Amino acid sequence: MKALIIRGGWAGHDPIATSEIAARELRAGGCEVELADSLDALRDLEKLLTLDLIVPVWTMGKIEREQLQPLLAAVKAGVGLGGWHGGMCDTFREATDYQFMTGGQWVAHPGDATARYIVRMGPTASPITAGLSDFAVTSEQYYMHVDPGVTVLAHTYVAPGNGSGDPYSTEAQAAVDAGRAPGITMPVVWTKRFGKGRVYHLTLGHQASVFDLPEALTLMRRGLLWAAEGRALARA
């Protein structure tokens, strides 16, 4: 398998460090990995079609039509797309075709930029989450606009007031996490199809240290490999 990781954009999301973690995990999974530091790596559709996986690690920024159109065409043809956090879904905010492909877009943090919350497996079972239990993470919690057509593999709950612009309440979030109060379901892991391509997204990964959590690292590795493996099915 062959993967292209394109890294850049806002430095606060550790694009270099997180992309190196992903490259390591993909290589361990049998992928040949190329790292690129320019969106111009997307201009060559013929080259993109030789890949099994494209991994955008590029928070915010802008993408030119001559870069976006080959990316869209490659994924539609069966090349996998996978990524995490803002590197994939707080990216190219003006490019709605890109957002349609990825399945979601970050819009807010429901409270402080850093919060403790619980990641819960399900509702859909998948080899990506098999054997993993619910776990706590202290990092950015993403409130996202999500395509209702995605398949949610893991989620979290946000206290209703915290998700509605009220002053953030740690107590309300703790009650939701403990199951004492209802919450807003917010996807953390999802998959979808774009044309023949498999698409995977993980909202965790604000900084490289998040992947010190074994569960987060497992979700990254399994999800990216799942997206890459779909290329063989697209060729069949």
In whole angstroms, what is the distance from residue 28 CA to residue 22 CA?
10
- The residues with which 108 forms a beta bridge, in sequence order, are 143
Q: For 6-35, write each residue's pLDDT tens digit.
A: 999 999 999 999 999 999 999 999 999 999
Taken as a whole, the chain contains a residue count of 236
Q: For 191-228, write each residue's pLDDT tens digit.
A: 999 999 999 999 999 999 999 999 999 999 999 999 99
* 68: its two tokens: 């976006």
Domains annotated on the chain, with CATH = 2-235 (3.40.50.880)
From 119, 13, 22, 120, select the one nearest 61 (Cα to Cα).
Answer: 13
Q: Identify residue 155 by its one-letter amino acid code.
A: H
- The residues with which 82 forms a beta bridge, in sequence order, are 200
In whole angstroms, what is the distance from residue 101 CA to residue 121 CA?
24
What pLDDT is attached to residue 20?
Answer: 98
What is the chain's alpha carbon radius of gyration, rounded to the nearest angstrom?
17
* 215: its two tokens: 């569960």
* 109: its two tokens: 């943090």
Question: Could you give the angle at the alpha carbon of 159 between the alpha carbons of 174 and 106, nearest 5°?
Answer: 115
What pLDDT is attached to residue 112?
Answer: 66
What pLDDT is attached to residue 236?
Answer: 65
- Whether 141 shows a pLDDT value over 90: the answer reads no
From 93, 48, 96, 51, select the one nearest 73 (Cα to Cα).
Answer: 48
Give the three-state DSSP class for 178.
Answer: coil
pTM above the 0.85 mark? yes
